[in-house]
């Protein structure tokens, strides 16, 4: 029997200074909203959950360049399905994992902080996996580039490191991560260095996506360039390389689900 056509999008509960003047990372709004839209269009019921039932929006994700008018209208409308579900965010104890056939880890840089220890979310994802569903995540990072006049300009891309959850999603039949022995992609360590955030990640005492994939026994496959759209499907595991890959990764997750 096919898994339920119902998707669960995990979001980060964490927040921490990342941007100039101590402005904080958190949930990068479109990293949850865009997959939400893809899954709804594909006929899924969609719920949102975080480890603590709380979230804080990423500062950059609320700025004009990163929240287009169409997305902002949804975000600011508390009666929209997406925003109302954020306003009444679920926590793992509210979730019956059997009801879901697709688990998608959205992000924001803060997910590097809480996803590795998010036992509730990891347990749900593991149940979806063992029940024959799809487990997916997408990765990325914002660029912070100083200008010539000493001010700071924020450029390039959304922040998303959803794959930080994978090492803790355990296949009970092997006792190893569900990505052990599989091919995955994710944001490159080179990209972290180029964008000047590697030291911040180290200060959080968290590994890069490449390192965590290797530690979990996965084969990491790099995109041609850090910002090139790139997604990999290996069985029920679907991963994307960066924010440019977010939409196509969600679509790939739907395609993998429909092939079950």
Indicate which residue of 160, 195, 210, 247 is catalytic.
Answer: 160
- C-alpha angle with apex 19: 15 to 22, nearest 5 degrees? 70
Whether residue 141 has pLDDT greater than 50: no
> What domain range includes position 164?
6-259
pLDDT at 158 over 50: no
Q: Catalytic site residue 51?
A: no
Is residue 168 one of the residues assigned to a domain?
yes
Does any domain span residue 125? yes
Task: Mean pLDDT check: name the lowest of 11-15, 43-47, 206-210, 255-259.
Answer: 206-210
Asked if residue 108 belongs to a domain, the reply is yes
Give the chain's domain count. Answer: 1
pLDDT tens digits along 186-209: 776 666 676 677 777 778 888 777
Residue 148 has pLDDT above 80, yes or no: no
Name the catalytic one among 24, 31, 51, 192: 192
Lookup: tokens for 86: 């954020």
Query: Is residue 130 one of the residues assigned to a domain?
Result: yes
Given 161, 195, 210, 247, the catalytic residue: 161
Residue 231 covered by a domain: yes
- Name which residue leads in pLDDT, 166 or 107: 166
Residue 57 inside a domain? The answer is yes
Give domain status of residue 1, yes or no. no
**pLDDT, tens only, 233-244:** 999 999 987 767
Among 106-110, 178-182, 242-246, 256-260, the least confident range: 242-246
Residue 186 lies in a domain: yes
- For the question of residue 160 being annotated catalytic, the response is yes
The CATH number linked to 185 is 3.40.50.880
> Which residues have C-beta within 8 Å of that of residue 23, sequence separation ≥ 6?
17, 59, 60
Quickly tell me which residue has 């804080």 as its tokens: 56
Question: What b-and-e string marks burial along 196-235, b requiring 16 or more CB atoms within 10 Å of the CB?
Answer: ebbebbeeeebbbbbebbeebebebebbeebbebbbbbbe
pTM of the model: 0.89
161 belongs to the catalytic site:
yes
State the pLDDT at residue 191.
66
Query: Between 160 and 203, where is the model more confident?
Result: 203
pLDDT tens string 70-117: 999 999 999 999 999 999 999 999 999 999 999 999 877 888 899 999
Residue 180 is encoded by which pair of tokens? 């052990």
Give the C-alpha separation, 239 to 183, whole Å.
9
């Amino acid at each position: 029997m096919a898994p339920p056509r119902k998707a669960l999008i995990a979001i980060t509960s964490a927040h921490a200074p990342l941007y100039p003047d101590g402005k904080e990372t958190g949930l990068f709004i479109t990293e949850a909203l865009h997959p939400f839209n893809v899954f709804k269009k594909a006929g899924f019921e969609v719920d949102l959950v975080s480890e603590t039932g709380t979230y804080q929006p990423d500062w950059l994700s609320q700025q004009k360049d990163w929240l287009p008018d169409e997305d902002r209208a949804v975000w600011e409308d508390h009666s929209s399905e997406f925003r109302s579900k954020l306003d009444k965010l679920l926590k793992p104890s509210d979730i019956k994992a059997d009801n879901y056939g697709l688990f998608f880890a959205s992000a924001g840089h803060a997910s590097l902080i809480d996803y590795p220890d998010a036992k509730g979310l990891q347990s749900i994802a593991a149940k979806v996996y063992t029940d024959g569903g799809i487990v997916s995540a997408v990765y990325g990072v914002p660029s912070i580039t100083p200008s010539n006049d000493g001010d700071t300009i924020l450029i390039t891309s959304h922040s998303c490191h959803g794959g930080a959850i994978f090492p803790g999603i355990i296949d009970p039949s092997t006792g190893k991560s569900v990505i052990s022995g599989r091919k995955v992609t994710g944001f490159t360590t080179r990209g972290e260095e180029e964008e000047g955030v590697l030291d911040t990640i180290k200060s959080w005492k968290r590994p890069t996506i490449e390192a965590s994939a290797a530690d979990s026994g996965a084969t990491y496959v790099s995109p041609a360039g850090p910002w090139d759209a790139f997604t990999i499907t290996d069985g029920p595991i679907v991963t994307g390389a960066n924010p440019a890959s977010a939409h196509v990764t969600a679509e790939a997750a739907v395609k993998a689900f429909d092939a079950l």
